[in-house]
Structure 1
Amino acid sequence: MQQFFVFVRKECYHIFRDKRTLLILFGMPLVLIILFGFAITNEIHHAQIAVLDQSRDSYSQRLVRKMTASRYFEVNRYLSSYKEIGPAFRQGDVKLVVVIPGRFAHSFEHEKVAAVQLLTDASDPNTATTLINYANAMIIQYQQELTGEIKLPLTIRSEIQMVYNPSLKGVFLFVPGVMTLILMLVSAMMTSITITREKELGTMEILLVSPLKPVMIIAGKVVPYIVLSFIISLIILAMGTWVFAMPVKGSLLLLLLECILFGLTALSLGILISSMTNSQQTAMMISLMGLMLPTVLLSGFVFPLESMPKPLQVVANVLPAKWFNIILKDVMLKGAGLRQVWMPTAILCGMTVFFLAVSIRKFKIRLS
């Protein structure tokens, strides 16, 4: 056992002497969490809109002021006819056109029905849908304000409550996803590169003839990265909490234990990659292309899995990132305990054991 600890200490010295490795390990989390937290968001602020007000009465003007008083819309221009809508969209700066027909106040007071037309630039469907939702919500609020002044024959009011994320902050989606992505890339990629480096340099054969068993050699390579992945998890959680006000409603101890478990899963996957490759370049390409894209696309990080075809949903079930993302959201946002997240936890444990078993078997076959 003393030889094992000496081997682990040697690996730690090797990691801390390599400044480029340290830059990747600690620089990548900081850059990604800041990039995803501030730059990549599904929220829209200060969208440029155009207004075609054919009524020009007090009701229509109050509606425009209601929309522009929020941080979501800014009036870019006022149009005088429908012919100006097309050129406004083609210039690219206007994303939404609000058309208020003539006799808007008269229709509201006497006919009890007033129409407003919303035209959007749907070349970006997600942005168009978001802007329509924002505008509809403001129109409903405006109508509710007027119901106190005008007696309507029948009014149906719907009360909306957003649970777990009432302010609809996009960062609450991206912080768990970024943690999943970083732990998967750093743990799997660095582990696979470390072991394949020994193969390329020819030092793996020297390690195999040492008193240490192959299992102990693999464990010695992995232990430093387990500690580093845990430290990285703490850094991401601290930045998410202090910089982006990300809540942790569940048990912090459970959250940290789940991070360690996912780190072990990612490390075991990195060991599996290294057992199948003989060069650092190949291991890096497999880690980046084979893990990064599926983690982003098929883990529920950016796109909802429910909207994907059934075959892709089946493929997503074999990705550890999907289950860890579920755990993070349930623990951090919903305050779930082990009773609620036992199934994804058990799946990650099973994946870790499977990857390790296959890796050790292939490691012995290729290098014994």
Structure 2
Amino acid sequence: MKQFLAFVRKEFYHVLRDRRTLLILFGMPIAQILIFGFALTNEVKDSEILVVDYARDDASQALLTRIGASRYFDIRQAALSHKEILGTFQKGKIKAVVVFPANFNADLLHTNKAQVQIVTDASDVNTANMITNYLSSIILDYQNQLNENLQMPYRITPEVRMLYNPQLKGAHGFVPGVMALVLLLVSVMMTAISIVREKETGTMEILLVSPFKPVLVIFAKAFPYLALSLVNVTAILLLSVFVLDLPVKGSVGLLFAESTLFIITCLALGIFISIKTDSQQIAMLISLMGMLLPTMMFSGFLFPIENVPVPLQIISNIVPSKWFYIIVKSIMIKGLGLSALWKETLILLGMTVFLLLVSLKSFKIRLQ
């Protein structure tokens, strides 16, 4: 046990004195959680829209007040012709234009019907759809307020509830995905590179002929990355709660336990890669490209898995980050417990045991 702790302490010293390693371990997770949490979001915030109000009456001003009160839009008003509106879109600064026709209030009072034109820049389809839906919702809400004192037969009003994320915040989807992505990349890559580095420098031969068991040498090199990855989990959760306003609804202890299991799975994968490769470049290429694309494509946090072909859906089941993403999302957002997540937990546990057994069987005491 003393020998094992001595090897672990040696590896900690090696990691902590390497600034590049520390940057990868702690800089990358913090940068990714902030980038995904704020920049890569499916929400529309402070989008500049142009309002052309030909009516300038009470109804148009009341509706403009509602639009301006929303945090989604930054309103600019102007009196433009339709040709000038097209030129404004060509400059790329305006996402949408709302046009109120003349006699807007009069049409609403006398004919019970009035039109509002919404023109969006559909070169970005997702943003255009979001803006259109937001504006339509505000207009519908104003219309319902006007109809409160009117008797309208056969009136059907749908009541929509968004469970777990009523404000449709993008952080609810991105934070669990970023946790899976960061822990997978850091744990797999750093473990694989650190072990392969010993092969390239020739120090692995010295470690293998030492009185210490060779298998424990590998585990001792992986143990510091387990501890440092748990520090990353803590940092991500603190940023999620205090910066991104995403509280943990479920058990924090269970979340850390599941994160520990996932980290061990990733460390086992890193050990397997290090055993099969002989250079740091190859280990880094496999760890980055081989893990990054499957995590982003098949974990479900960027693209729904149901949208991909069935063969790819089957392949996604062997990606560990898919199951960890489900676990984190269920604990943090839905507040579920182990009784609802036992299947995903067993899958990760099975992957860990399989990778460790294959790695130990493939591990060669002699390098040559």
- Could you say which TM-score interval applies, normalised by the shorter chain? over 0.9
Could you tell me how far 1:345 is from its partner in structure 2?
1.0
2:290 corresponds in structure 1 to 290
Q: Which sits farther off after the overlay, 314-323 or 301-310?
A: 301-310
Q: Which sits farther off after the overlay, 219-228 or 12-21?
A: 12-21
Pairing 1:26-45 to 2, within 5 Å after superposition: 26-45=26-45
Q: Is the 8 A contact 1:49 1:95 kept in 2?
A: yes
Q: Work out the CA distance in 2 between the residues paired with 1:233 and 1:294.
A: 21
- Describe the shift of the 1:64–1:242 C-alpha distance in structure 2 as closer, same or farther (beyond 3 A): closer
The one-letter amino acid paired with 1:26 is: F
- Describe the shift of the 1:310–1:107 C-alpha distance in structure 2 as closer, same or farther (beyond 3 A): farther
2:313 corresponds in structure 1 to 313
1:238 corresponds in structure 2 to 238
2:349 corresponds in structure 1 to 349
The one-letter amino acid paired with 2:47 is: A
TM-score calculated relative to the size of structure 1: 0.92
Q: Work out the CA distance in 2 between the residues paired with 1:122 and 1:330.
A: 34
1:7 corresponds in structure 2 to 7
The one-letter amino acid paired with 1:361 is: K
Could you tell me how far 1:312 is from its partner in structure 2?
3.2
2:205 corresponds in structure 1 to 205
2:19 corresponds in structure 1 to 19
Q: Is the 8 A contact 1:109 1:150 kept in 2?
A: no
Q: Work out the CA distance in 1 between the residues paired with 2:352 and 2:117.
A: 55
Could you tell me how far 1:150 is from its partner in structure 2?
4.2
Residue aligned with 1:97, SS: strand
Q: Work out the CA distance in 1 between the residues paired with 2:55 and 2:151.
A: 22
Identity %: 53
The one-letter amino acid paired with 2:18 is: D
The one-letter amino acid paired with 2:290 is: G
**Superimposed CA distance per residue, residues 135-189 of structure 1 (whole angstroms, 9 cap, x where no aligned partner):** 1110111112211354434432222222111222222222222211111111111
Unaligned runs of 5+ in 1: none
Could you tell me how far 1:199 is from its partner in structure 2?
0.7
Q: Which sits farther off after the overlay, 20-29 or 178-187?
A: 20-29
**Superimposed CA distance per residue, residues 44-91 of structure 1 (whole angstroms, 9 cap, x where no aligned partner):** 222122234444432223222321222222333434443333222112
Q: Is the 8 A contact 1:96 1:121 kept in 2?
A: yes
1:276 corresponds in structure 2 to 276
Could you tell me how far 1:128 is from its partner in structure 2?
0.8
Pairing 1:1-368 to 2, within 5 Å after superposition: 1-364=1-364, 367=367
Q: Is the 8 A contact 2:89 2:121 kept in 1?
A: yes
Residue aligned with 2:152, SS: coil
Could you tell me how far 1:3 is from its partner in structure 2?
2.7
Q: Is the 8 A contact 2:181 2:321 kept in 1?
A: yes
The one-letter amino acid paired with 1:111 is: T
Q: Is the 8 A contact 1:53 1:80 kept in 2?
A: no
Q: Work out the CA distance in 2 between the residues paired with 1:317 and 1:116.
A: 48
Q: Is the 8 A contact 1:193 1:283 kept in 2?
A: yes
- Describe the shift of the 1:16–1:94 C-alpha distance in structure 2 as closer, same or farther (beyond 3 A): closer
Q: Work out the CA distance in 2 between the residues paired with 1:64 and 1:21.
A: 53
TM-score calculated relative to the size of structure 2: 0.92
Q: Which sits farther off after the overlay, 6-15 or 104-113?
A: 104-113
Q: Is the 8 A contact 1:50 1:79 kept in 2?
A: no
Q: Work out the CA distance in 1 between the residues paired with 2:88 and 2:289.
A: 41
The one-letter amino acid paired with 2:49 is: I
Q: Which sits farther off after the overlay, 296-305 or 85-94?
A: 296-305
Q: Is the 8 A contact 2:208 2:365 kept in 1?
A: no
- Describe the shift of the 1:60–1:17 C-alpha distance in structure 2 as closer, same or farther (beyond 3 A): closer
Could you tell me how far 1:266 is from its partner in structure 2?
0.8
Q: Work out the CA distance in 2 between the residues paired with 1:50 and 1:247.
A: 36
Q: Work out the CA distance in 2 between the residues paired with 1:106 and 1:150.
A: 17
Residue aligned with 2:363, SS: helix
- Describe the shift of the 1:80–1:9 C-alpha distance in structure 2 as closer, same or farther (beyond 3 A): closer
Q: Work out the CA distance in 1 between the residues paired with 2:93 and 2:20.
A: 43
Q: Is the 8 A contact 1:76 1:94 kept in 2?
A: no
Residue aligned with 2:364, SS: helix
Q: Is the 8 A contact 1:63 1:142 kept in 2?
A: yes
The count of corresponding residues between Structure 1 and Structure 2 is 368
The one-letter amino acid paired with 1:322 is: K
**Superimposed CA distance per residue, residues 204-238 of structure 1 (whole angstroms, 9 cap, x where no aligned partner):** 22222223333222211111211111122112112
Residue aligned with 2:334, SS: coil
Could you tell me how far 1:258 is from its partner in structure 2?
0.3
- Describe the shift of the 1:180–1:238 C-alpha distance in structure 2 as closer, same or farther (beyond 3 A): same
Q: Work out the CA distance in 1 between the residues paired with 2:63 and 2:155.
A: 19
Q: Work out the CA distance in 1 between the residues paired with 2:136 and 2:70.
A: 13
Q: Which sits farther off after the overlay, 237-246 or 179-188?
A: 237-246
